[in-house]
Amino acid sequence: MDSIFANLTILLLFLTPVASTGLVTLFRKKRIIGIITICSASLILVQVFIIISRIISEKTITAFGNMFYLDSLSVIILLSISIVGFVSALYSKNYMGRQYDHGTVDDKHIVRYYQGFNVFLLTMLVIPTANSMGIMWVALEATTLVSVLLIMLYYKENAIEAAWKYLIIATVGLSFALIGTVFFYYANINAGSADDAMNWTSMVHNSKLFNPNLIKIAFIFILVGYGTKAGLAPMHTWLPDAHSEAPTPVSAVLSGVLLNCAFYVIIRFHIISSNAIGPEFSNQLLIIFAVISIGIAAASLYFQKDMKRMLAFSSVEHMGLISLGIGFGGLLGVYGALLQIINHAIAKPLMFFASGTISQKYETKAMSKIKGIIKVMPVTGVLFLIGGLALVGMPPFNIFLSEFFILSSGFQSGQFLATSLVILFLIVTFAVFLRHLIKMIFGNPVVPMKKDDMGKLAIIPMVILGALVLILGVFVPQQLQTLVQNAATIINHGGFA
Amino acid sequence: MVSTQLSILTISGSILIIATFSVVARRGFIDWLNAYRHQSIVLAGVTAIIGYITGIWEIYIAAALTLIVKSIIIPKVLTYVTRRLEIEFKIETNPYVSLRTSVIISALLVGLSYFLTQQIPFKSDPVVNVLLPVSMAQFFIGLFVLVNRRTVLSQVVGLLIIENGLFLFTMVLTHGVSLIIEVGIFVDILIGIVISSILLFRMGRTFDSLDVTNIENLRDD
């Protein structure tokens, strides 16, 4: 009886975006397909909340034999996917409508956009729910393909270039990841597992018997491979291009969620590797990549001229921080990292939405030509400022909390060198990012413009996210706390809830 | 295992490496595609032999898929998309490292993959011993082709070789992961190639040349 309920939950979760893609293909009317997508995204959000309430009471859900496995860790990723998916669908309607009025896209493109958006959501939903590491790989590769299609929606030279780079680099990266996955699978077969050797639960179960040398090599392949997709430096080179050239709602999903999905798979392998050879090896690697990412992001932020590229580099920085928290380990570090995943997934889309609206208004993405946002678009300007302050880690906002946890766990675990380097980089980021932001928000516009906030549907998703940024900065709801704590226990205690 | 099977595997392994080398040593896109097609046919044969040795029927499906997708569909699609491109887009005139040096580097990469596979603790199994280094060599040479060449088309070919190496690697080491994952990987590759073809097509229309050094508008300076 119980398993029927679980099967049904998972099935409905996948059927929603599938049905929505079908309806979009069927109706093909600009107004209707936007509403269909919003409905399906909000349905997914509701279903994820139901799943969360089940997970809090029962810790794990398995469905269809052992094919799907959910625990607190996967639910955190599901939560970020559904929130960002919902607000992006909401924002898409206004944004794509304006692109249409502007003549950048035609009816065919809009249909293609919404089809792609729904399939994109579907492929991302598969990643945290799957139990088999192979299916996770297939789904992650599928996200690359769908998002490449979404980036090349515009026939611009830059979009084609970004799509090409993204396709090639991400595919090569994922081929490394496949080698690592096969190594883990091989280790699991040798440890005596039979049919379900690709499943994460089976790998965790047998992980004590794995050959240590094999696991070391395998984890390096995994970290380089999935790290490429997660935007860890120095494999991040595709990221600023892809994130800045994609349509803005897609940028928000790419940056806020897709990076998390890739990092989620790294965390899964990190748990297995910690069981097999002790946590030191993978922790050190994660910390090294994290410090490089934050450093490179800090340096690159200084030189940015394009608003969306600046936000993309800030994503590299935040993925570095998440990796840092997992690498420092301990309850505090992992707790901070998981909270950071959610906080970043809320703050980054807010910034992308605001920047999308701003660039539509100013008709440019170049920061030097954007001045006096707060005078031209008061609401968007304030929200842009809130998001920016949150991203650099100012105290009353949500990211301050998680960054504080991560850095203090660094001192606790005795990683003084890494922690002080990161603090130094964060100070640089703080100064540089705020300088760019203040130059854009205050002052007077270069050419006089009409005061206009570009429509309610553009503002509502930003207000939702802005409110979440503020609320999560002062208090974390009880349910979320339990969820994150349970997930941290899973990571620290070898995988079982 | 019967010694004839082993010698067939050894010969096929060397054919795979020779086909990989002919991609490194040739300049023309059509030559690469032919080499890739032959390589894929041999790969399907090797897969079928592994299926025969292990007696797992799912491997035969993988072999059939390899034969259909990689040796028929993908070359067809790529020839179709590139048929209207100017001839200079299809010929690698000026790689970063000259062809002669490339062949030597590739030979070194083959040596490296034999060395690496001996370092990793694998169960002693004749199939693994013979074919695992070959798959690693394909992977490395594919990566080398990818970074060494200037035309966009050779990046696609590099990706295809990498992918063949990966397929052989998975097949040899694990005798095929479960069928659903195998099919998923195939579908991903096929769609990836189709998307890259669409991109190639658009590049041919919007860019003056398909030299990767020209496709560098997006950069931070």
- Chain A hits for B196, CB-CB cut-off 8 Å, are 164, 167
> Which residues of chain A does B180 touch, with a Cβ-Cβ cutoff of 8 Å?
135
State how far the alpha carbon of A448 is from the alpha carbons of A359, A370, A379, A451, in Å: 16, 12, 18, 9
> Tokens 């996210």 identify what position?
A465
DSSP track, A395-438: TTSHHHHHHHHHHHHHHHTT-HHHHHHHHHHHHHHHHHHHHHHH
Tokens of B115: 């060395």
Of A372, A386, A392, A374, the residue nearest A317 (C-alpha): A392
Question: Please, which residues bridge with residue A322 across strands?
Answer: none
Q: Which of A324, A174, A310, A311 is nearest to A256 (CA)?
A: A311
**A171 vs B contacts (CB less than 8 Å):** 159, 192
From A397's Cα to the closest Cα of chain B, the distance in A is 30
Supply the ipTM of this predicted assembly: 0.91
Contact between chains at B206 and A190 (C-beta distance less than 8 A): no
Q: Angle CA(A318)–CA(A323)–CA(A324) in degrees, nearest 5?
A: 90
Q: Which residue from B159, B203, B207 is facing A171, i.e. has the nearest CB?
A: B159
What is the total residue count of chain B? Answer: 221
Contacts of A396 (CB under 8 A, 6+ apart): A470, A473, A474
pLDDT in tens, chain A (497 residues): 468 888 999 999 999 999 999 999 998 888 899 999 999 999 999 999 999 999 999 888 998 888 899 999 999 999 999 999 999 999 999 999 888 988 888 888 999 999 999 999 999 999 999 999 999 999 999 999 999 999 988 888 888 889 999 999 999 999 999 999 999 998 998 887 777 888 999 999 999 999 898 899 999 999 999 999 999 988 999 999 999 999 999 999 999 999 999 999 999 999 999 999 999 999 999 999 999 999 999 999 988 889 999 999 999 999 999 999 999 988 999 999 999 999 999 999 999 999 999 998 888 888 888 888 888 888 999 999 999 999 998 888 999 999 999 999 999 988 899 999 999 999 999 999 999 999 999 888 888 888 777 788 889 999 999 999 999 988 889 999 999 999 999 999 887 76
The three-point CA angle A335-A338-A339 to 5° equals 85
Q: Is B184 on the interface with A (CB under 8 A)?
A: yes
Q: Is A192 exposed, middle or buried (0-12, 13-18, 19+ CB in 10 A)?
A: exposed
Q: Does the beta-carbon distance from A162 to B218 stay under 8 Å?
A: yes
Cα–Cα dist A41/A80, whole Å: 12
Subunit contact A182:B155, Cβ cutoff 8 A: no
Instruction: Inform me whether the C-beta atom of residue A42 falls under 8 Å from chain B C-beta atoms.
Output: no
Nearest to A134 among B159, B177, B217 (CB): B177
Give yes or no for B104 touching A (CB within 8 A). Answer: no
Is A258 within 8 Å of A242 (Cβ atoms)? no
Cβ-based neighbour number of residue B201 at 10 Å: 15
Name the residue among A475, A487, A490, A466 with its Cα closest to residue A204: A490
Q: Which of B181, B201, B205, B207 to mutate to test binding with chain A, by most A CBs within 10 Å of its CB?
A: B181
Cα→Cα distances B128→A413, B116, B123, B125, Å: 42, 13, 8, 5
Chain B contact present for A299, CB below 8 A: no
- Contact list in B for residue A148 (CB cut-off 8 A) is 195, 199
Give the C-alpha separation, A74 to A82, whole Å: 12
Which of A175, A181, A277, A365 should one mutate to test binding to chain B, selecting the residue with the greatest count of B CBs within 10 A? A175
Closest to A473 measured CA to CA, from A385, A401, A403:
A401
Q: How far is Cα B32 from Cα A266, in angstroms, rounded to an integer?
A: 35
Paired strand residues for A61 = A70
Does the beta-carbon distance from B215 to A190 stay under 8 Å? no
Residues 132-151, chain A, touching B (beta carbon < 8 A)? 132, 134-135, 137-138, 141-142, 144-145, 148-149
Residue with tokens 């608003």: A307
Which among B196, B207, B221 has CB closest to A167?
A: B196
A164/B206 touch (CB, cutoff 8 Å), yes or no = no
Ramachandran bin of A495, using left for φ above 0, alpha for ψ from -120 to 50, beta for the remaining angles = left
Contacts of A290 (CB under 8 A, 6+ apart): A232, A320, A321, A322, A323, A324, A327, A418, A422
What CA–CA distance (Å, rounded) separates A89 from A41?
Answer: 7
State how far the alpha carbon of A47 is from the alpha carbons of A66, A293, A341, in Å: 21, 35, 20
In the numeric block, which tokens belong to residue A354? Answer: 């605001």
